[in-house]
Amino acid sequence: MHQTAKTEHCMVCGSSLEYLKEGVDAACTFCGSAHRSPIRCPEGHVICDACHGREARRIIEGITVAETVRDAGEIAERMMDHPSLPMLGCEHAFIAAGALLAALRNSPYGKFSEQDVREVFDRTAKQAHGGYCGLTGVCGVAPAVGAVLSVLLGARCGTDREQRIVMEGVTRVSRAITDLTGPSCCKAYVRAAIAVAVPFFGEQFGIVLPLKDAWPACSHAQRHPHGCREGKCPSYRKPSKDIFAQGGFVPGTISCVT
């Protein structure tokens, strides 16, 4: 599927997607499963979350397990730059979780197995659903960070301090994401989550992770189907412009008049 899928708009035909106020009954174009979808293509294509994210999750999981660096921001950027991943989508929840897991695993503090990675991704998949950031106010990136925290702490329903720490971390991530909304950008949300999560690990557990650049220059602005927020995003860099190009002026050709 990843060989033919489009990475912006509709994965099948590339048409601009419609984000609906109410879900509609639909069958997935790829697997045929019946479900209610809040997103559809004007050409009739509908992709279920499982098909939309299956290949991306495989890629992200592979990078998570193979990475050797400790900078979660660097890892996340490498994941987001993968040519097979879409511009927007809940695949970014797995990126946030995977980048943090890899950074922790490569540090002296956390020893995560491949089974732990799958567990975090399984939990993330339960709450990261396409379009629901606008329908319920919950971006899947926030519970993705919560899943990392919960596996790290062994938190579960009924625990005391552990569950509170997980919820506090998720609340902070959600607040940071909210401050970047309008329109939404999954890549900005990943960066915001990591910028919050890394110091949170230090504050709560004394886990010091490197984060060289939380807001690197974004190379995806032109791909955004809803329109990049540009100057309102910390990662936006205005393209440089040759102010002399149209006039044909060549610097150094002006002669001094005496």
pLDDT tens, residue by residue, 95-154:
999 999 999 999 998 778 899 999 999 999 999 998 889 889 999 999 999 999 999 999
Name the helix (H) or strand (E) containing 145. helix 141-153
The DSSP bridge partners found for residue 18 are 40
Residues forming beta bridges with residue 36, ordered by sequence position: 25
Measuring CA to CA, which residue among 210, 134, 217 is closest to residue 177? 134
The upper half-sphere exposure of residue 254, i.e. CA atoms within 13 Å in the direction of its Cβ, equals 6
Residues 6+ apart with CB under 8 A from 258: none
Which pLDDT tens digit goes with each residue over 11-41?
A: 888 888 888 888 889 889 888 888 888 888 8
Residue 2 has pLDDT above 60, yes or no: no
Task: Pull the structure tokens for residue 88.
Answer: 């927007």
Residues present in the chain in total: 258
Helix (H) or strand (E) segment spanning residue 26? strand 18-27
Identify the H or E element spanning 73.
helix 72-80
Q: Structure tokens of 226?
A: 């809803």
In a 10 Å sphere around its CB, with 0-12 CB exposed, 13-18 middle and 19+ buried, how is residue 48 labelled?
buried
Kindly report the pTM of this predicted structure.
Answer: 0.83
The overall average pLDDT reported for the chain is 89
**Three-class SS state of 100:** helix
Confidence of residue 253 (pLDDT cuts 50, 70, 90): low
pLDDT tens-digit map of 51-83: 877 888 899 999 999 999 999 999 999 999 998
What percent of the chain has a predicted confidence (pLDDT) above 90?
59
- pLDDT-derived band at 155 (thresholds 50, 70, 90) equals very high
